[in-house]
Structure 1
Amino acid sequence: MSENFPFPQSNANSEGSATSGDSSRGGGRRFAHAPTNNRRRWPLVLLWTVVAVILIGGGAAAWYGFTLNNSFNKAEKIAPEEIFPEETDRPAEVERPEGASDDAQNILLLGSDTRGEVGDDLEDIRGQRSDTIMVVHIPADRDNVQVMSIMRDNWVEIPGHGMNKINAAMSLGGVPLLVQTVEGIIDVRIDHVAIVDFEGFKGMTDALGGVTINNPRAFSSRGATFPEGEITLNGDDALKFVRDRYSFADGDYTRVANQQLYIKGVVSKLMSRDTLTSPGKIADVVDEIAPYLTIDAGMDTGYIAKLGLSMRDVRGDNISFFTSPTLGTGREGAQSVVRPDWDELAIVAEHFRTDTLDEYAE
């Protein structure tokens, strides 16, 4: 990549950079914190499965809840102390707004690509680098959802290890260090963590009968051709679509945009009448992803059920995507890196803290 080239931020709702208003905080920010390793795991699948369950009512909800409970038994669960940093290394708790019945939730979704199922031992996800990093913000009013992608080459301070690419945090200190690093950027706590192997959403895509997207740019990757316009991806092609970055002059910028585009397609398919009225299809989707999923133990079926009920009115149009602001690319020694826009990130952090991220995402 060319040095300091100002590539635009991605937004799955509209091409271009995200904008926002003034911030009470400006200037460069410190950051830092790091996570645990995992095989490349594709995150958003979990959230969207949850969202789909959330949208069902009555007896159907009971069925999906039962299915989800059984499938979650196949997912690896990790104790909170092995997921989150020490209390003294975390941001202060955000006070609940007056009259709010629910707290805002921030879920860290990590994707990795190990081409295999999640192992039974936490050591299996240590020493890896997180390939996909997304923060899902669910506001206290449960009216919408925002998903912020963090490019893996962002050059940040990793606590105790100096400056490095953010995706190195996992290999340096596991999930807790990555969580700490991300919390240092958004200045609020991560409530839950989900790590998904890319292989999991391959099966999920096929269980959905394919995922349709509107591809803004034609390209070819690993024997697959993706023409411009509306296309339907099967599991194999979906993996190639979201993994590729070498076909694009801006590398990971387009890769992240494609991931957001694909996730939007997954959400639309999960929320379609065809899917929501088919218990068998939902069961197949959950069964396909669960063996490739690692979650913190707090994401049990009770939490999922409560979250689902509170989000029953959320629809695809209420979910927005954006990429954490950057200033383009540069070099650190032999490494090509992405330069964070710290002034803009201070604004993003303020929106996280005040639970107004929807204003920024728009």
Structure 2
Amino acid sequence: MSERRTARAAAEATARPPRRKRPFLVALLVTGGTLVAAATALAVAAAVFVGGLASSFDQRSDALADPFPAGSRPAASGTAENLLLVGSDSRAARDPDGDHAAGGRSDSLMLVHVPADRRHVYLMSILRDSWVDVPGHGRAKINAAYSWGGIPLTVQTVEQLLDVRIDHVAEIDFAGFQDVTDALGGVTVQSSEDFTARGHHFTRGTNHLDGEQALVFVRERYAFADADHTRVRNQQAFLRGVFQQVLSRGTLTNPGRLQDFVAATSEHVAVDAGFDARAIATLGWSLRGIRAHDLVTFTLPTAGGGTSPDGQSYVSLNELDRQDVSRALRSDDLQDWLAERDR
């Protein structure tokens, strides 16, 4: 290289500042800032969406007027919660079971117990023909309480039966489960036996139901030798299927499906004033670790049947088991009782 070219190259090197590579930390901060911004935008969008769902639920669902009985009631369960689900057939004239009782009867009764540790959700069915003491009316089938005194007497009867306080109550139109099923794109259930009812056939094992099939599945009783015993098992299987479908990725990541589900549910449910969208969201957040297999279903144990003096066929409850369930609910240790019972 000539002396002139060497001098020119040295001068350019002196005049031009050296190029510096962007430090890794700077790149990380830039990337992190972009992710935070994106996450913030998603959080805002999610909040708006969830807020819209909550508003939709509150606007569409009915509030039960004075659902809780007056007078003395069992003590509150602390941080555990007990919810009473009442499936009513108040549309008596259209009731496919043909029970045209004045005022309607409770077609299904389920107690949902949410323990303090939030590790499980327990759903206990109470057979509608269970022979119990209905306050102010003497011994009768438990579903008669709804006919005589609506939700308040039903709550009072269950509270007296189990000696536990009902924190919230929801009245569900079981016919609405047809809309709920379709909103979810169908529900998969496990049937304990083959049966045919009202033009639909169900096989033992796995069945994927559309709305019309689901309504038949949860309401049929005459196809079974043990009538309501299998029917409540089918209702439990259906709710387990709904629970699993709602928690599935296909529903949680599909805003349209979530909207349809909330709309279909709220159209067919009435809740106590304290169980609004905010309360439901709070309970739901506390159960965020729950998975489908954490839903435990069972039926309040029975001890055969009987006939009342006026000729009604009823189901007798197992008194020892009833007392044990009552104690387990009050002490919040249903899991121990179920484990002991299964041994």
TM bracket (short chain): 0.7 to 0.9
1:125-164, aligned counterparts within 5 Å?
127-164=103-140
Work out the CA distance in 2 between the residues paired with 1:173 and 1:293.
Answer: 19
- 1:346 and 2:323 aligned: yes
Residue 169 (1) aligns with residue 145 (2):
yes
**Counterparts of residues 63-142 of structure 1 (less than 5 Å):** 63-79=49-65, 82-88=66-72, 90-94=73-77, 96=78, 103-114=79-90, 127-142=103-118
Could you tell me which amino acid in structure 1 is paired with residue 320 of structure 2? Answer: D
Q: How big is the shift at 1:343?
A: 1.0
Deviation at residue 359 of structure 1 after TM alignment: 2.2
Asked if residue 220 in structure 1 is aligned to residue 203 in structure 2, the reply is: no
Retained in 2: the 8 A contact 1:169–1:181? yes
Partner of 1:32: none
**Contact 2:106–2:146, Cα closer than 8 Å, also in 1:** yes
Q: RMSD value over aligned CA atoms?
A: 1.8
Deviations 1:73-132 (A, max 9, x none): 1111124xx1001132x11334x3xxxxxx11100001123569xxxxxxxxx9221001
Which has the higher Rg, Structure 1 or Structure 2? 2
Between the two proteins, the alignment pairs up a number of residues equal to: 287
1:173 offset after TM fit, Å? 1.3
Is contact 2:76-2:167 (8 Å) kept? no
CA apart distance, 1:344: 0.8
Counterparts of 2:226 and 2:292, CA distance in 1? 28
User: Per-residue CA shift, 1:307-359, capped at 9, x if unaligned?
Assistant: 12211111111110000011022211321100011111100000110011122
SS in 2 for 1:127: coil
CA distance in 2 between partners of 1:129 and 1:187 (Å): 23
| Residues 64 and 282, structure 1, Cα contact 8 Å, conserved in 2 | no
| Kept after mapping to 2: 8 A contact 1:154/1:339 | yes
Q: Which consecutive unaligned segments of at least 5 residues does structure 2 have?
A: 1-41, 93-101
Partner of residue 206 from structure 2, selected from 211, 230, 233: 230
**CA separation in 1, counterparts of 2:224 and 2:47?**
42
For the Cα contact (< 8 Å) 2:56–2:262, is it kept in 1?
no
Unaligned residue ranges in structure 1 (runs of 5+)? 1-56, 97-102, 117-125
Alpha-carbon contact 2:54-2:278 (below 8 Å) kept:
no
SS at match of 2:60: coil
Q: Tell me if structure 2 keeps the 8 A contact 1:215–1:227.
A: yes
2:106 aligned counterpart, secondary structure: coil
Specify the SS of the correspondent of 2:143: helix
Matched, 1:316 2:292: yes
Whichever residue aligns with residue 311 of structure 1, its letter is L
- Larger helix share, 1 or 2: 2
Give the fraction of aligned pairs with identical amino acids, expressed as a percent. Answer: 47
Q: TM-score, normalised by structure 1?
A: 0.76
**What is aligned with 2:224?**
248
1:268, distance to aligned residue in structure 2 (A):
0.9
Q: Measure, in 1, the Cα distance between the counterparts of 2:182 and 2:326.
A: 37
| More deviation, 175-184/301-310 | 301-310
Per-residue CA distance 1:47-68 (angstroms, 9 max, x = gap): xxxxxxxxxx955465234213
- What letter is aligned with 1:70? S
Task: Give 1:258's aligned amino acid.
Answer: N
